[in-house]
Amino acid sequence: MAVASARAGDYPVRPVKIIVPFAAGGTADAVPRLVGDWLSRKWAQPVVIENRTGAAGNIGAEFVDHAAPDGYTLLSSPPPPLVINQNLYPNLGFDPAKFEPVIVMAHVPNALIVNPKNLKASSVAELIQYLQQNPDKVTAATQGIGTTSHLTAELFQVMAKVKMRSIPYRGSAPALQGLLAGDVDLMFDNLGVSLPLVEGGNLKLLAVASSQRLPSLPDVPTIAETLPGFEAVAWYAIVAPPGTPKSITEKINADVNEALRQPEMQDRLRKLSAETFGGSTAKAARYMQEEVERWGKVIKAADIKLQ
């Protein structure tokens, strides 16, 4: 224990690698890059972001699961491999419950975004009416099977009693490219990367999936105003390999919390439509367990099965 404590006291003495299990260009990649850049200055050590994509985040998560539990390989991820995939994949190569929770850095509401050249609907109610009249004709881009964009689309279909065709991509950025190109009609994406495309007039934002309207977008309605109770939020957490000493996870937690308190960090996250979350390792563990139960109910209600 004395040796572990000494190691934690010196940590980090060499570069730290943060694995992001989704493609570069999306909010899942942008948030840890912002935090990692700040940590690299705080620690006087490089913090390297490495994208290991595939299988709805499982490939990157499995890599971290098998990494040495010394704090030098971490996983930064949105919900899928941490709280969703155990309800979808019968044989994961890792146990999400055994990761050591470090912190939930930030959360971003999902939003309903359409390609205005493909869909002329100007409200959620109009879109639902069109979907009811044209079942299975509208295509919905997702960040991949089991991602929050996929589950949000499934939740929408269940609550609105409509049917769309899901088109999985390998992350948010390529899915948005498909939406921009008109290859697909709509997407439930987090606002982080998609909002500038909306503001540029390339895409249309119909509604946000937060429970209340966003202070930054007061004129944009919530989906819940049409479908009461509808809510879907993406979040971005850091976890460590199973067995990582508590002293190390607490050190990383304290330093990330310090990063999140910086006004410039909050400003940059706000530009991604992200709000800081932060708090203790115990808070992160509780939140993730609540999310396991919440998305598990969605998967069961929508009867989602891997193809």
pLDDT digits (tens, 9 = 90+) for 79-130: 999 999 999 988 999 999 999 999 999 998 899 999 999 999 999 999 999 9
Query: Residue 244: what pLDDT?
Result: 98
Interatomic CA distance for residues 197 and 124, integer angstroms: 19
Among the listed residues 272, 261, 283, 59, the one whose alpha carbon sits nearest the alpha carbon of residue 171: 59
Query: Residue 276: what pLDDT?
Result: 94
Interatomic CA distance for residues 52 and 145, integer angstroms: 16
Q: Identify the structural domains of the chain with CATH numbers, from first to last.
A: 2-108+234-302 (3.40.190.150), 109-225 (3.40.190.10)
Confirm if 104 and 284 have CB atoms less than 8 A apart.
yes
Query: Residue 90: what pLDDT?
Result: 87
Taking the CA atoms of residue 211, residue 294, residue 149 and residue 269 in that order, the dihedral angle to the nearest 10 degrees is 60
Query: Residue 2: what pLDDT?
Result: 43
Among the listed residues 146, 193, 199, the one whose alpha carbon sits nearest the alpha carbon of residue 172: 193
Query: Residue 307: what pLDDT?
Result: 58
| Amino acid present at 248 | I
Alpha helices (runs of H) in 27-112, residue ranges in sequence order: 27-43, 58-65, 79
Query: Residue 211: what pLDDT?
Result: 87
Structure tokens at 160: 């609105």
| Amino acid present at 37 | D
Query: Residue 9: what pLDDT?
Result: 75
Query: Residue 148: what pLDDT?
Result: 86
Name residues whose C-beta falls within 8 Å of residue 276's C-beta, 6 or more positions apart in sequence: 105, 106, 260, 265, 266, 269
Query: Residue 143: what pLDDT?
Result: 85
Query: Residue 1: what pLDDT?
Result: 45
Low-confidence ranges of the chain (pLDDT < 70): 1-8, 307
